[in-house]
Structure 1
Amino acid sequence: MRDTSILGMPLTAPVVVGSGLLTDQERNIRRLLEKGAGAVVTKTIHPNPPQGLDERILRLPVGMLNSTTYSKRPVSHWLRALRSFAEDRLPVIASLHADSPDELAALARDVETTGCRALELGISCLNEEDGLEDDNPDRVYAYTSATRSRTGLPLSVKLAVGEGLQDRVRAAIAGGADAITLSDTIPGAAVSPETGDLELNGVYGYSGPGLKPLVLAATWQLRKRGVTLPIMGVGGVNSGRDVADYLSVGANVAQVYTALHTDMYDTLERILGETRELLGEPQGAPL
């Protein structure tokens, strides 16, 4: 049996379902775990999510663009759901963000009272109305350290690949992060062939296969530069080969999300089966 763990949780597989629309419902989260996911990250819980935005997804030949932000379900709903997951000892990671470091810290403290086992700080979403213009080390440190000051839960900080990543990772570590999730979506756009205008009316988050080479390179470089913190590799996972590639460059686990927008449960089971085969585990056995 493969010994895999993240954020203090032993996992049955090095495959974690990432945060997004598919993890905005308790029944989906439970079903994904029943199908064999090592853990599931909730849609990002926010005490004051933006209202009135045109939030959509656009499928591309090479992935997906999305203009979505945070869960619209109230914090009270999520606290009940997280308490239920905790009672069943399910490996669920709560994704959190807020409008300020103090608000995020208070939210994390509320989540800890449910018995939730781990957090992911979704602080790098670029889809809010004003965008994420300046994701810098000071900002990363402020959110991470404030959260760490209010909770003892293991936490991963989700960051996007790109300029200044090494300094942002160092800031997360200095702030008390226990792991890094790499990468959040990056800016992307598509042009409508009918109108010549940008689809979704702007630049929004890109996810999919195009991210994988960037995240593989960034993970490898972080390990070469001495970063020892656990890393959850995210971007373009569509097969067991993709999972194995992330593990090969130093990620502890891989997150899958965009691929699950097609045949969610069947796709997850296929990826898990391929991963077992590549890692030399019997089919049906825990990874």
Structure 2
Amino acid sequence: MTRLLHNPAAAEILGLALTSPVVVGSGLLTDQERNIRRLLAAGAGAVVTKTIHPNPAPSGSERLLHLPTGMINSTTYSRRGIDQWCAMLRRFAADRLPVIASLHADSPAELAELAAAVADTGCRALELGISCMNEDGGLTDTAERVAAYTGAVRSVTTLPFSVKLAAGERVRERVDAAVAAGADAITLSDTIAGLAVDPKTGRVLLGGTFGYSGPGIKPLVLAEIYELRRSGVQVPLMGSGGVQSAPDVAEYLSVGADAVQVYTALHRNMHDSLAGIREGFDDWLRDHGGTVAALVGRSLPKGEA
């Protein structure tokens, strides 16, 4: 902890003291123990696992489509079983690694059961990945749904957890519902609806509407976080969407995020890309003579930070 006190890039989220506010988000790249450990070694302040689910869909349906402004993906949840994940999480806990377990299930009761099992591993923090729009039939999220899942998890564990929500309609209502039901933090944003079309044939690529992520959504998520903070939301926030460089990290912190998730950019040169963002942000802080603590909320009008 003494080392962190003298580190200008130090941050804290979900009770984790981070050496950097740069957190690797949940996805295909965080589905293996080796990758998670290498991402931490490359400088991630923490890593969020691929979402653990008791009843994942059959394999073979996960596809990625790279676009100039990001990526559309049809992925959902990890195919690894709960027992395998729990064994992995125990090893991370034994090594005191800052790993956040992403969880979802088909009902609040099932999610509560899963959360209790994961809490028994010694895992230090959770993220509820309840807003994935790639579920069968898509997803229409409501404050009531968010409250049901959040409250179910809070009823079985004292572990700190974040609820990951998608930017969009009535986001403030969904944030308030999560906080009222016991969330310790909010992650914003999950992927949003995206569609790609072959201009020559008119064929809908990937076969439909799926989750879009990348630099194209960054201005939208920045605006959501900025307005949430301006409207008085005080809960810790992890900003997520379109981070590719050190200035992106600084922008998210400036509008009020306490930590910043990066994911899509890592699909190209995963470890080198992460190291570049992390080291670039350390250099940025040094060049500007600042700290993470001083950056957070600096874009907000005085009295609203």
In structure 1, list runs of 5 or more residues that go unmatched: none
The aligned residue for residue 73 of structure 1 is 80
1:178-225 Cα shifts (integer Å, max 9, x gaps)? 000000000000001342111100000000001110111100111111
Structure-2 separation of matches of 1:259 and 1:59 = 11
Which one of 17, 20, 30 corresponds to residue 24 of structure 2?
A: 17
1:68-122 Cα shifts (integer Å, max 9, x gaps)? 1000011111000000000000000000000000100110000000000000000
Residues 1:100 and 2:107 are matched in the alignment: yes
The aligned residue for residue 226 of structure 1 is 232
Structure-2 separation of matches of 1:176 and 1:281 = 39
Residues 1:269 and 2:275 are matched in the alignment: yes
Q: RMSD of the alignment, in Å?
A: 1.5
Identical-pair percentage? 64
**Cα drift, residue 52 of structure 1:** 5.5
Kept after mapping to 1: 8 A contact 2:59/2:79: no
Which one of 36, 43, 49 corresponds to residue 29 of structure 1?
A: 36
The aligned residue for residue 134 of structure 2 is 127
In structure 2, list runs of 5 or more residues that go unmatched: 1-6, 294-305
Residues 1:185 and 2:191 are matched in the alignment: yes
Distance 1:59 1:19, change over 3 A: same
Which one of 246, 259, 264 corresponds to residue 258 of structure 1?
A: 264
The amino acid of 1:146's aligned partner reads A
Kept after mapping to 1: 8 A contact 2:13/2:236: yes
**Cα drift, residue 279 of structure 1:** 1.4
The amino acid of 1:156's aligned partner reads S
Structure 1 ranges of 4+ moved more than 4 A: none
**Cα drift, residue 130 of structure 1:** 1.4
Structure-1 separation of matches of 2:159 and 2:285 = 30
SS in 2 for 1:280: helix
Single out whichever of 7-16 and 268-277 deviates more from structure 2: 268-277
Structure-2 separation of matches of 1:276 and 1:113 = 35
SS in 1 for 2:169: coil
**Cα drift, residue 48 of structure 1:** 0.3
Spell out the pairing of 1:42-57 with structure 2 (5 A cutoff): 42-51=49-58, 54-57=61-64
Spell out the pairing of 1:105-120 with structure 2 (5 A cutoff): 105-120=112-127
Structure-2 separation of matches of 1:85 and 1:233 = 24
The aligned residue for residue 201 of structure 2 is 195
Kept after mapping to 2: 8 A contact 1:188/1:206: yes
**Cα drift, residue 54 of structure 1:** 2.0
Kept after mapping to 1: 8 A contact 2:252/2:260: yes
The aligned residue for residue 8 of structure 1 is 15
The aligned residue for residue 4 of structure 2 is none
The amino acid of 1:45's aligned partner reads I
